[in-house]
């Protein structure tokens, strides 16, 4: 596609509910990144894929967070048993390069509110 597409744009979840956030990167982009952005803060790294391989998941806050990219294209970020502190904007980004040398293109994000 022309840009990075994320869905849903907004998600309200009750505490304890599981959620799945989808990212469709720019066609042909090898690298895919997930970031979490709390209000008034910069994006914080969560995890990184190169094709289908998850090369870095050091930023995932807990084992309730899980990400996959099984065919090297679309990625899903899953959060189990959501907590109020999970409320944030979740940003997906992709890059045509195998490293981050050229920067990333971000999607519009998914705003998650846990009530």
Partner 1 sequence: QKEVEQNSGPLSVPEGAIASLNCTYSDRVSQSFFWYRQYSGKSPELIMSIYSNGDKEDGRFTAQLNKASQYVSLLIRDSQPSDSATYLCAVITGFQKLVFGTGTRLLVSP
Min dist. Cβ of residue 84 to partner 1 (A): 21
CA–centroid distance for 99 within its chain: 18
Instruction: Compute the radius of gyration of the chain from its Cα atoms.
Output: 13
| Contacting residue, 49, 69, 107, 114, with partner 1 by CB under 8 A | 107
Q: How far apart are CA 101 and CA 79, in angstroms?
A: 29
Using rule CB under 8 A, residue 43 touches partner 1? yes
Residue 41 makes CB contacts below 8 A (sequence gap 6+) with none
Using rule CB under 8 A, residue 87 touches partner 1? no
Using rule CB under 8 A, residue 1 touches partner 1? no
Q: Which residues bind to partner 1, rule: CB under 8 A?
A: 33, 35, 40-45, 48, 56, 58, 91, 99-109
């Amino acid at each position: 596609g022309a840009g990075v597409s994320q869905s849903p744009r907004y998600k309200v979840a009750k505490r304890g509910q599981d959620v799945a956030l989808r990212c469709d990167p720019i066609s042909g982009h090898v690298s895919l990144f997930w970031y979490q952005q709390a209000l008034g803060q910069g994006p914080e790294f969560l995890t990184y894929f190169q094709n289908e391989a998850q090369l870095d998941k050091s930023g995932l806050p807990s084992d309730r967070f899980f990400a996959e990219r099984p065919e090297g294209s679309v990625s899903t970020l899953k959060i189990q048993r959501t907590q109020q502190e999970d409320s944030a904007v979740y940003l997906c980004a992709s890059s045509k390069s195998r490293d981050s040398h050229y920067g990333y293109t971000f999607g519009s994000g998914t705003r998650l509110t846990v009530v």
